[in-house]
């Protein structure tokens, strides 16, 4: 699996331009007026990972299959979205379906590009969006708790758990804090996730700066960095226009262009890494002459569940996992060399898969 990240922000902050660049399509109309994106645009991109190419080269794999990440370009929110302003209800519903939120903030000055509030203040923009999400959650919680009253009178355990969690979220929101600050016990984790509250989504702030500030950032992006640190969130600095230009170039031309701009890598790479860190994700590999393939799992995933990402039967009939660490696979020049050097291990059901593991699963059909 990869993961699904929703791109949100006020109108005219560069969301659709960034989406176009990331997915290398023109499916999202990047026009200079609010609500140019009425339906959410969905695009999948390959997750870049240089390790996969090296593994494929050693194994002489005929095909290289990277893991994939889904971006959802959600139309611009405005103040009052929680009350339906600017088609807000539709947009808020789309946010519920993503794993994380990439909150694009305008950190560039350009008199030719209209700002819906008539000024450039990314911190205020972030507060506007967060407020709308919090108000929407509060309204949802009040309705849900009212609907639980009858079940609570009947001593329904599931309803009691749901009401307790909703009450905790409501208390945080009424205190002006997002629901993600609520500490949830392991036994409540599944029920908490099922609530699908908007402000439980992890947030990555994307500072969209001018082209000549892409390598260094500016005062606006510095203010966002300070805000993100105070919240315990993360941020990346990207020029959506540069990313759009890079997406149209061949690999060698793109590398030369990045060098001229003082950048070591495309913003896409940094954005994906930040997203992986945000959701505590990692990658393992399966390698052979037919294909070299990357798979995404959450940190702390045990071997049977990691096998289940490939196919449910792998998890149900799991016997063991033959495991080689990435560095050992490279150093030993493949599985045979790793086996001869004693670097290939047989791991059972309790093994926690590590980032970069090269795995071969044995299972009963």
Do 239 and 148 sit in the same domain of this protein?
yes
Residue 295 lies in a domain: no
Do 224 and 171 sit in the same domain of this protein?
yes
- Kindly report the average pLDDT of the chain as a whole number: 86
Residue 283 lies in a domain: no
Say which DSSP state 49 is in. Answer: -
Whether residue 50 has pLDDT greater than 50: yes
Question: What's the rounded Cα separation, in Å, for the pair 91 and 76?
Answer: 8
- CATH code for the domain of 336: 3.10.20.30
Task: Give the DSSP letter string of 317-360.
Answer: TEEEEEEE-HHHHHHTTSHHHHHHTT--EEE-TTPBP-TT-EEE
Do 254 and 343 sit in the same domain of this protein?
no
Question: What's the rounded Cα separation, in Å, for the pair 235 and 237?
Answer: 7
Do 228 and 345 sit in the same domain of this protein?
no
Mean pLDDT of 152-181: 94
pLDDT of residue 94: 78
- pTM, to two decimals: 0.81
Residue 17 lies in a domain: yes
pLDDT in tens, 242-295: 988 888 888 788 889 888 888 888 888 888 888 888 888 999 999 999 999 999
- CATH code for the domain of 142: 3.40.50.300
pLDDT of residue 43: 80
Whether residue 2 has pLDDT greater than 60: no
Do 310 and 240 sit in the same domain of this protein?
no
pLDDT of residue 77: 63
pLDDT of residue 349: 95
CB–CB of 323/351 below 8 Å?
A: yes
Which conformational region is residue 315 in: left (phi greater than 0), alpha (psi within -120 to 50 degrees), or beta? alpha
Residues 6+ apart with CB under 8 A from 305: 297, 315
3-state SS class at 111: coil
Residue 170 lies in a domain: yes
Question: What's the rounded Cα separation, in Å, for the pair 211 and 193?
Answer: 39
Residue 133 lies in a domain: yes
pLDDT in tens, 98-156: 889 999 999 988 766 656 566 789 999 999 889 888 998 999 999 999 999 999 999 99
Do 52 and 156 sit in the same domain of this protein?
yes
Do 273 and 161 sit in the same domain of this protein?
yes
Hey, which bits of the chain come out as E strands?
4-8, 41-46, 63-65, 68-73, 100-106, 203-208, 234-238, 281-287, 291-298, 318-324, 345-347, 358-363
pLDDT of residue 80: 59
Whether residue 27 has pLDDT greater than 50: no
CB–CB of 66/46 below 8 Å?
A: yes
pLDDT of residue 297: 94
pLDDT of residue 113: 62
Count how many domains the chain has: 2
Do 344 and 223 sit in the same domain of this protein?
no
Do 51 and 189 sit in the same domain of this protein?
yes
Confidence of residue 24 (pLDDT cuts 50, 70, 90): low
Do 178 and 305 sit in the same domain of this protein?
no
Residue 290 lies in a domain: no
pLDDT in tens, 73-84: 886 665 655 455
Do 70 and 168 sit in the same domain of this protein?
yes
Sheet holding 358-363, edge to edge: 63-65, 291-298, 281-287, 358-363, 318-324, 345-347
**137, two tokens:** 């959650």
Do 265 and 359 sit in the same domain of this protein?
no
Question: What's the rounded Cα separation, in Å, for the pair 212 and 82?
Answer: 36
Residue 190 lies in a domain: yes
Confidence of residue 42 (pLDDT cuts 50, 70, 90): confident
Say which DSSP state 74 is in. Answer: P
Torsion of CA 7, 9, 14, 19, to 10 degrees: 10
**Domain with 92 in it:** 4-278
Residue 101 lies in a domain: yes
């Amino acid at each position: 699996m990869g993961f699904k990240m929703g791109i949100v922000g006020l109108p005219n902050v560069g969301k659709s331009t960034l989406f176009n660049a990331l997915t290398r399509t023109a499916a999202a109309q990047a026009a200079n007026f609010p609500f140019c994106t009425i339906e959410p645009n969905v695009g999948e991109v390959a997750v870049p990972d240089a390790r996969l190419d090296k593994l494929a080269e050693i194994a002489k794999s005929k095909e290289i299959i990277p893991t994939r990440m889904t971006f959802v370009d959600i139309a611009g929110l405005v103040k009052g979205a929680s009350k339906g302003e600017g088609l807000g209800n539709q947009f808020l519903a789309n946010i519920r379906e993503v794993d994380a939120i990439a909150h694009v903030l305008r950190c560039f000055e350009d008199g030719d590009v209209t700002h819906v509030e008539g000024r450039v203040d990314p911190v205020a923009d972030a507060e506007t969006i967060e407020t709308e999400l919090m108000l929407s959650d509060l309204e949802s919680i009040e309705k849900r708790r009212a609907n639980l009253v009858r079940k609570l009178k009947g001593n329904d355990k599931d309803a009691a758990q749901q009401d307790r969690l909703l009450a905790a979220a409501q208390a945080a929101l009424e205190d002006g804090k997002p629901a993600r600050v609520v500490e949830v016990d392991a036994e409540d984790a599944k029920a908490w996730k099922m609530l699908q509250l908007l402000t439980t989504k992890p947030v990555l702030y994307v500072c969209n700066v001018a082209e000549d500030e892409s390598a260094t950032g500016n005062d606006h992006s510095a203010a966002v960095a300070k805000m993100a640190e105070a919240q315990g969130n993360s941020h990346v600095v990207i020029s959506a226009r540069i990313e759009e230009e890079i997406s149209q170039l061949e690999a060698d031309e793109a590398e030369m262009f990045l060098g001229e701009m003082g950048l070591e890598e495309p913003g896409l790479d940094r954005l994906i890494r930040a997203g992986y860190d945000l959701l505590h994700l990692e990658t393992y590999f399966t390698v052979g002459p037919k294909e070299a393939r990357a798979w995404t799992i959450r940190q702390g995933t045990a071997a049977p569940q990691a096998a289940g990402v490939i196919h449910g039967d792998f998890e149900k009939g799991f016997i063991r996992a033959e495991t080689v660490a990435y560095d050992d696979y490279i150093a030993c020049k493949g599985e045979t060399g790793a086996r001869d050097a004693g670097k290939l291990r047989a791991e059972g059901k309790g093994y926690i898969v590590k980032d970069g593991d090269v795995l071969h699963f044995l299972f009963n059909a």
